[in-house]
Amino acid sequence: MQSLSGRKKNVVNKKMTIGEKLYLPAIIGGMFVTLKHFFGKSKTVKYPEVKRNFSENYRGLHVLKKDDTGAERCTACGLCALSCPAEAITMTAAERTKEDKGLYREEKYAAVYEINMLRCIFCGLCEEACPKQAIFLTSEEIAPANYDRGDFIFGKDKLVEKQHHPVGKIRGGGPYSKEHYHQHGKNKSIF
């Protein structure tokens, strides 16, 4: 069959020459390969002390964004839940009352908004589906470990952003955001 990629290699069982059968040259060659690494630089990131930066498009923990006035953008349309391949998102919609006008941008809002972090596969389809730019996957936090399965169902208390960042500039500012995170992670990225 013709190789479309052009990288196809045919395996040949060629007889080994006497030099190859001795194995010693190959062994010594291998020894020097490892010796080169012995004196080479370590590629370890010493994790708890030093943290590696996430990449720009890393899909971490979800955050429910607010707009510039501080009102929640989510209108509980349910498109995120619909697009979710893992059935991780549920919500209950409610109508905004007069007192709550500053809290929610649209007249309809999500009274309950839950994401099951055990189901979520962090694909980012909810982010794509959202017409109101309300849900984003942050690029700096990961879902934290927990002892209780029930605690993996994240409600609005954990999802709504605490510090507001304008949409589209920094994907971040979620509940677990720590301002010193970036200062600590100032090691140069090696990847």
Partner 1 sequence: MDIVLIEKSILVVIIFAISLGIAAYSTYFERKFAGFFQDRVGPNNAGPFGILQPLADGAKLFTKEEFIPTNANTFLFILGPSLAMLTACMTSAVIPWGGTLEVAGRTISLQVADLSVGILYVFGVVSLGVYGIMIGGWSSNNKYSLLGAIRAASQNISYEIAMGLSIIALLMVASDGTLSISNIVNFQINNYWLIVYQPLGFLIFMICSFAETNRTPFDLPECEAELVGGYHTEYSSMKLGLYLFAEYVNMFISSAVMATLYFGGYDVPFLADFEASLGHNLVTILGTLFFFGKIMLFIFFFMWVRWTIPRFRYDQLMKLGWQVLIPLSIINIVLTGLVLTFVK
Structure tokens at 139: 């690029």
**Which residue shows structure tokens 């501080």?**
70
* In the complex, least distance from residue 40 CB atom to partner 1, rounded to whole angstroms: 6
Question: What is the separation, in whole angstroms, between the first and last Cα of the chain?
Answer: 36
**Considering beta carbons, is residue 4 or 24 the nearer one to partner 1?**
24
Q: Least distance (Å) from partner 1 to the CB of residue 24?
A: 9
Cα distance between residue 53 and residue 189, in whole Å = 7
Place of tokens 């309950």: 112
Which residues, 6 or more positions from 41, have their beta carbon under 8 angstroms from its beta carbon? none
- Kindly report the number of other CB atoms within 10 A of residue 84's CB atom: 20
DSSP letter (8 states) at residue 104: B
CB of 38 to partner 1, least distance (A): 5
DSSP SS3 for 190: coil
Residue 38 or residue 191: which is nearer to partner 1 going by CB? 38
Cβ nearer to partner 1, comparing 8 with 46: 46
Q: Shortest distance, CB of residue 26 to partner 1, whole angstroms?
A: 10
Asked if residue 89 lies in contact with residue 71, where contact means CB atoms within 8 angstroms, the answer is: no
Measured from the CB of residue 27, what is the shortest distance to partner 1 in angstroms?
A: 6
Query: CB-wise, 44 or 183, nearer to partner 1?
Result: 44
Tell me which amino acid residue 5 is. Answer: S
Count interface residues toward partner 1 (CB under 8 A): 15
CB of 54 to partner 1, least distance (A): 22
For residues 46 and 188, which CB has a smaller minimum distance to partner 1 in the complex? 46
Q: Which of residues 1-60 bind partner 1 (CB under 8 A)?
A: 27, 30-31, 33-35, 37-44, 46
Phi, psi (5° rounding) for residue 27? -65, -45
Strand partners, 109: 94
Q: With respect to partner 1, which residue has the nearer C-beta, 3 or 42?
A: 42
| Residues in contact with partner 1 by the rule CB under 8 A | 27, 30-31, 33-35, 37-44, 46
